[in-house]
């Protein structure tokens, strides 16, 4: 009986160590992939069209804009600031 218990503990320890090692390897490889991509793959920069940005702000009704500003002020305790409103 005692031999089975010791063997079960050894098996559990080996399994836990194996899982820990595999998860550590997954984390290490993920971090290496992130560093590689950030270093060698350039990010696509999309230039913002200036005409569309101004027309999008103009397309929103003033009462809707005021309601959004009031909601943001209420939620953030007058610390939030709206820079741009866009329809999605």
* 31 has pLDDT over 80: yes
Least confident of 35-39, 66-70, 81-85: 81-85
More confident residue, 52 or 25: 25
The reported pTM is 0.47
Do the beta carbons of residue 34 and residue 59 sit within 8 Å? Answer: no
Long-range contacts of range 73-78, CB-CB < 8 Å, 24 or more positions apart? none
Percent of the chain with pLDDT over 90: 48
Q: How many residues does the chain have?
A: 88
């Amino acid at each position: 009986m005692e031999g089975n218990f010791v063997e079960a503990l050894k098996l559990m320890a080996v399994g836990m160590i194996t899982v820990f090692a595999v998860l550590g390897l997954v984390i290490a490889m993920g971090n290496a992939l992130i560093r590689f991509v950030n270093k060698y793959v350039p990010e696509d920069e999309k230039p913002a069209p200036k005409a569309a940005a101004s027309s999008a702000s103009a397309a929103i009704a003033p009462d809707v804009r005021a309601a959004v500003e009031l909601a943001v002020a209420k939620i953030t305790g007058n610390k939030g600031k709206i820079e741009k409103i866009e329809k999605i």
